[in-house]
DNA sequence: GTAATATTCATACGTTCGTTTCAAACATAC
DNA sequence: GTATGTTTGAAACGAACGTATGAATATTAC
């Protein structure tokens, strides 16, 4: 029975699985690849995590729970101050995700990429995994945006929130692709700049005039 | 040697593979599942497509090429008229994707979901597959947005385009998740409405004031 | 030290995978 | 008809997968 000083098998497995899930993907990563790279025995996975999906769940919770706690902290602070600014609520939603790398180092970076990947590939991952991980965050932020955008119909608000999540997930999962596409002009190392760009983009999208309203203002 | 009247093995394979890749995902779909569901022999896949990846490529081209042709048609029309409206360029980029279902029926719907899925899961799919499929579209639209938003630095413009693509991909891949999350309030059957929502969201995001510029206007 | 527990190890099981083989069925041309 | 090229069929290949087993080895408790 030990908990404090184990630079241990279990942790080595978690770290390696995290890295592989993030870079290659969950369903194409074999347990043998993980254990051989971590330098541990194959059976150790079933001993510590029972199944492959058990391992995934523990990897996910380890990297996503702190992020969601931070999100709710920031939202709590806003609500305690009665602050229902769209931009600041957006920031509370996006910044903890985008800053995971600098807060949690390599673990944060990998966790973020797993998250982004899984948004589009729930292959082999049951639906309720996501529900459990994000239900509270979704509920709280939906309500906050309801207060921040009272004139916007529920349906439009949810759609726009959906678009924001998509932009975020894509940024988290594959902003390295943008780096290669732009021949290095765009890179994600300057987290501050990415946060500002995404927050301003999302805020503008959320507060856009309704399609019916004749105030687009983007004509040539 | 026949081409015109084959309600054929090859087509049955393509249809079934398309459906399975779209609903379950590429890497977790086995060739045996495809052939058994299509009612054809397992070896037929290797006869007609050589490898599993060859099958994927043909599925992708069959559903994505028409969409990209339509995008470029619409962009051609705009450029021929000297029309560099952000909203209309955005529409040329997004609408052909979102309308694939009604243009190509079930094939369009499945193709769209495969596309959305693969944006986040290039697991087992080499990088140049995407490059080949989208390089021309990316180049043309990047240039068009450069003319439509001349005051925006290249870097910001590419980032915002990246966000737009993320919002689109997420909408294509998993707007059914939004339907269940919103308890049926949001659904994607009304394509017109989804197009308008996403176009207005993306246009607003693309034309947002720069983060440095003090004109956010979303403070409470 | 000894007993009890916790962890690691080598190895194997049963499945399923993508791919291949080669003969049988089919179409077409002469 | 026979010959030729194309498409299907049943069966198997070797490899890799997730998982399970039981003995060996650390670790802890007394």
pLDDT in tens, B57-106: 999 999 889 999 999 999 999 999 999 999 999 999 999 999 988 888 88
A19 vs A23: CA distance, rounded Å: 6
List CB contacts (< 8 A) between A77 and chain B.
none
pLDDT, tens digit (0-9, with 9 covering 90-100), for A83-141: 999 999 999 999 999 998 888 888 888 888 887 777 666 556 667 677 788 899 999 99
Q: What pLDDT, in 10s, does the model give residues A133-176?
A: 889 999 999 999 999 999 999 999 999 999 999 999 889 887 77
Nearest to B218 among A85, A177, A186 (CB): A85
3-state secondary structure (DSSP) of residue A84: coil
SS3 string of B49-66?
Answer: HCCHHHHHHHHHHHHHHH
Residue in chain B nearest A142 by alpha carbon: B182
- How much is the pLDDT for A102? 84
Closest CB to B201: pick one of A83, A160, A197: A160
Name residues 131-160 of chain B within 8 A of A (Cβ).
Answer: 138, 148, 154-156, 158-160
Look at residue A13 and give its three-state secondary structure.
Answer: helix
Say if the Cβ atoms of A25 and B25 lie within 8 Å.
Answer: no
Q: Residue for token digits 């800053």?
A: A99
- Is residue B190 packed enough to be buried (19+ CB in 10 Å), middle (13-18) or exposed (0-12)? exposed
Residue A219 confidence class, pLDDT cut points 50, 70, 90? very low
Q: Are B168 and B111 in contact (CB under 8 A)?
A: no
Residues in chain A: 220
Q: What's the DSSP call for residue B40? A: S
Give the separation between CA B186 and CA B176, rounded to whole angstroms. 9
**Banded pLDDT at A27 (limits 50, 70, 90):** confident
Answer whether residue A78 shows pLDDT above 70: yes
CA distance A220 to B169: 27
Does residue B188 belong to the interface with chain A, where contact is any CB pair within 8 Å?
no
Token pair for B132: 């080949």
């Amino acid at each position: 029975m030990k908990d404090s000083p184990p630079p241990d098998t279990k942790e080595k497995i978690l770290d390696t699985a995290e890295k592989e899930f993030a870079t290659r993907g969950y369903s194409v990563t074999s347990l043998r690849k993980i254990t051989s790279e971590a330098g541990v025995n194959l059976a150790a996975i079933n001993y510590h995590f029972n199944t492959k999906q058990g391992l995934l769940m523990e990897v996910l919770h380890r990297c996503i729970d702190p992020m969601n706690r931070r999100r709710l902290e920031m939202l709590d602070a806003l609500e305690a101050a009665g602050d229902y600014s769209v931009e600041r609520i957006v920031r509370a939603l996006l910044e903890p995700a985008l800053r995971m790398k600098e807060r949690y180092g390599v673990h944060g970076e990998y966790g973020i990429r797993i998250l982004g990947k899984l948004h589009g590939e729930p292959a082999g991952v049951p639906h309720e995994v996501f529900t459990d991980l994000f239900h509270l965050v979704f509920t709280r932020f939906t309500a906050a945006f309801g207060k921040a955008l009272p004139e916007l119909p529920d349906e439009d608000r949810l759609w726009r929130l959906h678009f924001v999540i998509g932009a975020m997930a894509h940024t988290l999962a594959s902003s390295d692709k943008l780096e290669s596409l732009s021949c290095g002009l765009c890179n994600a190392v300057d987290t501050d700049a990415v946060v500002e760009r995404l927050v301003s983009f999302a805020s503008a999208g959320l507060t856009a005039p309704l399609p019916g309203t004749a105030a687009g203002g983007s004509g040539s």
